[in-house]
Amino acid sequence: MNRKIEIIHGDITKIPVDIIVNAANSSLLGGSGVDGAIHRMGGKEILNACQKIRAKQGGCKVGEAVITTAGNLPAKYVIHTVGPRWNGGNNHETDNLKNCYLNSFIVANNNGATSISFPNISTGIYNFPKNQAASIALETITDSLYLYHNIQKVNIVCFEIENYLIYKELIESL
């Protein structure tokens, strides 16, 4: 078990940290779930910044990550990453989900962040099986901590108790 990783049951918009990761969609224009909460609590500055990125590069592809201001959130930045929709499991879902965590880590590290909070990307509306998503997330985060040394603290913020219990069991077995 890596002592830099903490599993938290709570709302990602309420926890002070350098970087809050958002489970966005390719449009970057907001949505429901954690994306809705981040835009609602962060305010219009985040949407304005997303619109500038859209104008420049036309949104964000699945597995990639872009960075904006965190507006009114208790963070320095928000990293928006786009998780895969679960589509049976043979459509690059695993690699795409891994890339969300990895690319968020790289962008966070490049921007001098020392702490980062992740939601359980793709496990809501995008329907990724929760156990599988948790294994992929923990493995990728653990590997990334060895590669990107700026990051000293990773919060995995589980909104649902089901995900929290999955992560707790998984992390204790490592």
Active-site annotation, residues: 35
Query: What is the spatial distance between Cα 131 and Cα 80, in angstroms, rounded to a whole number?
Result: 23
Region binding ligand AR6 by CB under 6 A among candidate stretches 20-28, 50-58, 71-79, 148-156: 20-28
Query: Is residue 81 a contact residue for ligand AR6 (CB under 6 A)?
Result: no
C-beta closer to ligand AR6: residue 11 or 95: 11
In this chain, which of 163, 164, 166, 167 binds ligand AR6, going by CB under 6 A?
163
CB of 50 to ligand AR6, least distance (A): 11
19-24 and 115-118 strand pairing: parallel
Residues 6+ apart with CB under 8 A from 113: 18, 19, 76, 77, 150, 151
Region binding ligand AR6 by CB under 6 A among candidate stretches 10-18, 54-62, 90-98, 164-172: 10-18
Query: What is the spatial distance between Cα 83 and Cα 99, in angstroms, rounded to a whole number?
Result: 9
With b for 16 or more beta-carbon neighbours within 10 A and e for fewer, the 53-82 pattern comes to bbeeeebbebbbbbbbbbbebebbbbbbbb
Per-residue x/- mask for ligand AR6, residues 110 to 149, rule CB under 6 A? ---------xxxxxxxx-----------------------
Residues of this chain that bind ligand AR6 (CB under 6 A): 11-13, 23-25, 31-35, 37, 83, 119-126, 157, 159-160, 163
